[in-house]
Amino acid sequence: MQRADRIVAIGLIFVSLGVAWKATELPVGILPKEGPGGGFLPFWLSLGIAAVALMVLIQSLVSSRRDKSATAGAGVFMSREGLRDLMRVGLPGMIMILLIGVISVYFSAALFIFYCLFLVGGHNLKTSLGVSIGVPVVVYYIFEKFLIIPLPKGYAEFLFYWN
Amino acid sequence: MEILGNLFYGLGIALSPQNLLMALFGVVLGVAIGAMPGLGSVNGVAILLPITFAVPPTSAIIFLAAIYYGAMYGGAISSITLNIPGASTAVATTFDGYPLARRGKAADALVTAAVASFIGGTLSIVLFTFFAPPLAEFALRFGPPEEFAVVLLAYATFAGLGGESPLKTIIATMLGLLMSTVGTDIVSGSPRLIFGGITGFYHGINFLVLAIGIYGVGEIFYTLEEGFKTKERYQAKLGVQETISTLKNLTKCAPTIARGSLLGFFVGMLPAAGATPASFMSYSIAKRFAKNPEEFGKGALEGVAAPECANNAASTGSMLPMLTLGIPGSPTTAVMLGALFVWGLVPGPRLFVENAEFVWGLTGSLYIANTMAVIVAIFAVPIFIWMLRMPMTILAPIILVVCAVGGFSPTQDMFDVYLMFIFGAVGYIFRKLDYPLAPMVLALVLGGLTERTFRQSMIMSHGDPGIFFDFAGHPIAAVLMMVSVVLFVLPIVPMIFRFRVSRAGTSA
């Protein structure tokens, strides 16, 4: 847990310094008669984040040196089983999101829901098929037909406009 | 007495069969749209606006107001059951609504939300009925310095609500503000922090993308790690007995609801503020006044009642400057204002005289729509409880799909869906490391307004920050600023004290 805390603090320092550097594209100082320039807020905010993240890092290092068995920050960040469970749905979830732009949100959702129900959840074929077809159909009618918000369809676009 | 006469005249118009039907139709649609993650009242009103061109303006505004109202009720539903706020106005409802649901008290939370919304809405309609014109005059005196002072007040009331570590609260707040600066510089119009022209950053980071990411996707990650195959996520009971006991408990929330409703109405009335800051302020004020502040965030009914009464009160309040001055108090009323012009009506004091049927018909229908909404919302509770009883192995993939759709619909940009997923992962890690997430969302929601009002004020004063403390020129701003400063200092005192105690504790 403590190691994760430090890694995140270091990551925050690097990211915010990078953002501060990008913010200098606009004036970061106080312009005469106008107040702060366009880059003022993002520049000083990101420097501020870097400074406070450094304080978090120092606090974490100091507290562990002072007391080896400190209760604060004890425990593991993630157990092996927890990570496995997370990856079994999280990774396919990521693939589902990436496939939305390729095979449409409807097919991608159907595949993902079927995978979760049938292969991970151990539900029977009838339930799995029912939910994985039912949810995209309901989403289709609510968004495309009722609200008239077209959702991404990727290369499957032609399937929705065949008539 | 003239007002009472007008009110009865308005109720008569609102009770005509056609208008009654419009109100019911609008409330049901509003609750449904509000409950959908990613779609709030502004989407509902904007999408359904074309339908209203077929009916007379009075029926049309009754329909739109009913959607607005219904969506305020509906927003609480997904906040409580799924921890995904349906709109920015319902973000504060997740803080205690979701913990209540996890403890098997989803029905209590949903009923509390509906009743609090009803009371907040009704109180503010009464205020609206009797004080519309003088209050509109007051709201007109709000310029950028006053608006900035109100926003600062929202942050100040929220300062005490961080997590265990003050440093991490500061980081979370600053990250939220930093995200709000992505997009276009409001003064010069040049693109800012778009990282080499990533087109998805040009329209800025929508707060819903962050909220759905960290509350929706992040929550699923959290549940997955705890064990995916646990049969039920939480037990949810609902019966007549439970509902009655909830209503009894509600009497304890009465002072909270009264404070939140008044606050909501006044904040909603101000041109820039609207229902979102009102709900956050009401929540933190409820916590300050509570006898049991330690229960807030873990499932206090007051924590659900406070933001819900305030956001409904604010939605009525925000219609006041729209009708009397033509200044919208919220994004939704901005869309409604556009509709007024389409119907050929000119907002302003003359509207109350020349289009009395329209104004008083709307006022009358607000009472009716509000009553309908509480009934619809309470009848919808069992449906959502049934949904919560589904096993996690079915619910989790469906929620992930709904999150993806919800992340896409506000901006219609796939980039936001990818961003939402990344926020989900980051939010999950942050949550494990005790970084508080609520200040980050609040800062992103209010960030744009904060920067705009601050820089407009600075341009007004030619770069002199003294404008915020100018008791002669901007007395309202100066008083609000002083209150904010006091509120900022108050929670820092015990924080420093606690820090010293904990240091003494570890070195001992």
User: Which pLDDT does position B40 carry in this prediction?
Assistant: 74
Same domain, A95 and A28: no
Which range is most confident: A26-35, A69-78, B19-28?
B19-28
Q: Which residues contact A97 (CB under 8 A, 6 or more apart)?
A: A108, B404, B417, B418, B421
User: Which pLDDT does position B507 carry in this prediction?
Assistant: 39
User: Which pLDDT does position B8 carry in this prediction?
Assistant: 87
pTM listed for this prediction? 0.76
Contacts of B34 in chain A (CB under 8 A): none
Contacts of A135 in chain B (CB under 8 A): 398, 401
User: Which pLDDT does position B496 carry in this prediction?
Assistant: 61
Kindly provide the b/e burial profile for residues B433-456, where b requires at least 16 CB atoms within 10 angstroms of the residue's own CB: bebbbbbbbbbbbbbbbbbbbbbb
Q: Which residues contact B143 (CB under 8 A, 6 or more apart)?
A: B457, B460, B474
Instruction: List the single residue in A with minimal CA-CA distance to B412.
Output: A151
Tokens of B132: 């519309």
E strands, B344-457, in order: none
Q: Considering A66, A90, A110, which residue would you say is the last residue of a domain?
A: A66
Same domain, A134 and A94: yes
Name the one residue in this structure whose structure tokens are 């609504």: B97
Cβ(B151)–Cβ(B450) below 8 Å: yes
Instruction: For residue range B283-309, list pLDDT tens digits in order.
Output: 888 888 888 888 888 888 889 999 999
In a domain, A73, yes or no: no
CB–CB contact B417 A67 (8 Å): no
Give how many domains chain A has, as a whole number. Answer: 2
Strands B183-184 and A35-36: unpaired
CB-CB: which of A45, A97, A120 is closest to B178? A45
Q: Between chain A and chain B, how many beta carbons pairs sit less than 8 Å apart? A: 179
CA distance, residue B197 to nearest chain A CA (Å): 12
Same domain, A39 and A85: no
**CA angle at A102 for the pair A96 and A104, rounded to the nearest 5°:** 70
What is each CA distance from B294 to B62, B104, B290, B394, in whole angstroms? 42, 20, 9, 34
Q: Which residue ranges of chain B lie beneath pLDDT 50?
A: 231-232, 504-508
ipTM: 0.88
Evaluated on CA atoms B221, B223, B229, B231, the torsion sign reads: negative
Cβ(B37)–Cβ(B1) below 8 Å: no
Range of the domain at A7: 2-66
Same domain, A94 and A156: yes
Q: Domain extents for chain B?
A: 2-507
CA-CA distance, B449 to B133, in Å (whole number)?
26
Which range is most confident: A55-69, A137-151, B58-72, B336-350?
B58-72
Evaluated on CA atoms A29, A30, A31, A34, the torsion sign reads: positive
CB–CB contact A105 B398 (8 Å): no
Name the one residue in this structure whose structure tokens are 């990818």: B418
User: Which pLDDT does position A50 carry in this prediction?
Assistant: 92
CB–CB contact A120 B393 (8 Å): yes
Instruction: List the single residue in B with minimal CA-CA distance to A43.
Output: B178
The pair phi, psi for residue A101, each rounded to 5°, is -75, -10
Instruction: For residue range B206-248, list pLDDT tens digits in order.
Output: 877 888 888 888 878 887 777 665 544 555 555 666 667 777 7
User: Which pLDDT does position A128 carry in this prediction?
Assistant: 92
Same domain, A36 and A91: no
In a domain, A102, yes or no: yes
In a domain, A134, yes or no: yes
What is each CA distance from B78 to A86, A144, B157, B369, in whole angstroms? 23, 21, 25, 21
Same domain, A54 and A31: yes
Mean pLDDT of chain A: 84
CB–CB contact A105 B408 (8 Å): yes
Name the one residue in this structure whose structure tokens are 């004290």: B497
CB-CB: which of B188, B224, B462 is closest to A89? B224
Same domain, A43 and A96: no
* Confidence class for position A67, pLDDT limits 50, 70, 90: low
Mean pLDDT of A46-54: 92
The pair phi, psi for residue B437, each rounded to 5°, is -95, -30
Cβ(B427)–Cβ(B437) below 8 Å: yes
Same domain, A103 and A154: yes
Neighbouring CB atoms inside 10 A of B27's CB total 30
CA distance, residue B429 to nearest chain A CA (Å): 9
CA-CA distance, B37 to B413, in Å (whole number)?
16
Same domain, A55 and A106: no
Mean pLDDT of A33-44: 83
Same domain, A90 and A147: yes
Q: Considering A33, A66, A99, which residue would you say is the last residue of a domain?
A: A66
**CA angle at A99 for the pair A94 and A105, rounded to the nearest 5°:** 105
User: Which pLDDT does position B1 carry in this prediction?
Assistant: 61
CB–CB contact B221 A86 (8 Å): yes
What is each CA distance from B357 to B57, B127, B351, B353, in whole angstroms? 10, 19, 10, 9
E strands, B161-296, in order: 183-184, 191-192
User: Which pLDDT does position B120 carry in this prediction?
Assistant: 92
Contacts of B462 in chain A (CB under 8 A): 33-34
Same domain, A44 and A109: no
Same domain, A10 and A50: yes
CB–CB contact B506 A67 (8 Å): yes
Cβ(B395)–Cβ(B50) below 8 Å: no
Instruction: List the single residue in A with minimal CA-CA distance to B506.
Output: A67
